[in-house]
Amino acid sequence: MAISVGSTAPDFSLKSANAEGLAKDDFGFSTVKLSDYRGKKNVVLLFFPGVFTPPCTQEMCTMSEALSDYKDLGAEVLSISVDSALAQKVWSEKENIKVTLLSDYEKKTVKAYDVVLPDFLGMGEGSKRAAFVVDKEGVVRYAEVTPTPPEQPDFAAIKSVLEKL
């Protein structure tokens, strides 16, 4: 069962090739930690199955267009998949994705949030499509795992929760 509302969100430290405004290492990657936002911003965490798939491209392009709405609500949007940061970089450049993409290549974060997709397109474990809102104190205020990987999260419900924080 995925992390539930009222729980403390598990921290993570993941690599990103497209994070804006963060220091980059010698290979061009930034390290993003959930705890870096504690006391500063609410966070929308979007887990998605895989880069270059039509539902995931639709979700991230839609979110890229709506990023200013989430920023206006005081939230940072972070998206997590088990793809490599290199694959995420190529995908984000091809599709003009502005959402910060985080690589959970070792699958530690999808396991911590209990959103493992047991078999993604015959390629082994991946990530279910899921959405969490984590408040400034690190508490989960919204949790959703979609019934099937192609289904999109309820973005209106996510915004409604953010409006109340």
Integer Cα distance of 2 and 111 in angstroms: 9
56 is catalytic: yes
Find the catalytic residue in 3, 19, 45, 56: 56
> pLDDT per residue over 74-121, tens digit each?
999 999 999 999 999 999 999 999 999 999 999 999 999 999 988 766
> pLDDT per residue over 20-71, tens digit each?
888 888 888 999 999 999 999 999 999 999 899 889 999 999 999 999 999 9
pLDDT of residue 89: 94
> pLDDT per residue over 119-161, tens digit each?
766 667 889 999 999 999 999 999 999 988 889 999 999 999 9
Other beta carbons within 10 angstroms of residue 54's beta carbon come to: 8
| Structural domains for the chain | 13-164 (3.40.30.10)
Integer Cα distance of 135 and 165 in angstroms: 7
Q: Any idea what DSSP says for residue 139?
A: B
